[in-house]
Amino acid sequence: MAIPTFTLDTNCIIDIDEGRPNAGYIQQLVQAHNEGTASVALIAMSASESQKSGRQLDSFAEFTERTAALGLGALEMVYPMFIFDISYWDNALWTDEKGIQLQRVIHKILFPTIPDEWESYCSAHGVAPLVIDAYHFKKWKNALCDVQAYWAHANAKRDVFVTQDCNFLKSKKQSLISLCGGRIETPAAATALLI
């Protein structure tokens, strides 16, 4: 019997870092990974998310050092599509048209009112694309990172996407599962799937 595979979204890292209520569930998943009864992965795109301090990480190594310090260093990594100026060169995948189309469909499900390309977003909001407006760029990039988190999980053909983000768990959950298969669960529900 194959062991279950889990993918932790960025919020799971934050839960561990800040000692939030879900941290215990996530630590159970990490323990199962360390014992070989589950495969648990982080998403490389989490390194591209805006940090609590508001700054961006200088390198992917800074992300791996941070996750190792949180006890997540032994986890596997799943990779997003390479997106210039967003993802890290050696920690993203070149993809084909099929991968790009999957990303667009995931984006339409999760963020139907936010254009998936920066230039289109700028046009819709009257923002000059070459002048990075912090508010608009952060909003667009946050959506992109969420889309790429799920894309990386689906592309790696993993079983359970673990999140407490309501955008994944409510009305859009079934559409995402129908598109990519697998499950989307909270940390608590994910631990119930451990063997």
- For the segment 37-75, what is each residue's pLDDT rounded down to a tens digit? 999 999 999 999 877 666 678 789 999 999 999 999 999
If you average pLDDT over residues 16-30, what whole number do you get? 97
Burial class (CB in 10 A: 0-12, 13-18, 19+), 36: exposed
pLDDT of residue 54: 65
Check whether 104 has a pLDDT greater than 70.
yes
pTM: 0.94
Distances from the Cα of 84 to the Cα of 38, 181, 191, angstroms: 33, 28, 35
Measure the CA–CA gap between 81 and 100, rounded to whole angstroms: 8
pLDDT of residue 140: 92
Measure the CA–CA gap between 47 and 86, rounded to whole angstroms: 9
pLDDT of residue 56: 75
> Residue 162 forms beta bridges with which residues?
8, 185
Measure the CA–CA gap between 187 and 139, rounded to whole angstroms: 25
The size of the chain, in residues, is 195
Q: What structural domains does the chain harbor?
A: 5-191 (3.40.50.1010)
128-173 per-position pLDDT tens digit: 877 776 788 889 999 999 999 999 999 999 999 999 999 999 889 9
Work out the percent of the chain whose per-residue pLDDT is above 70: 96
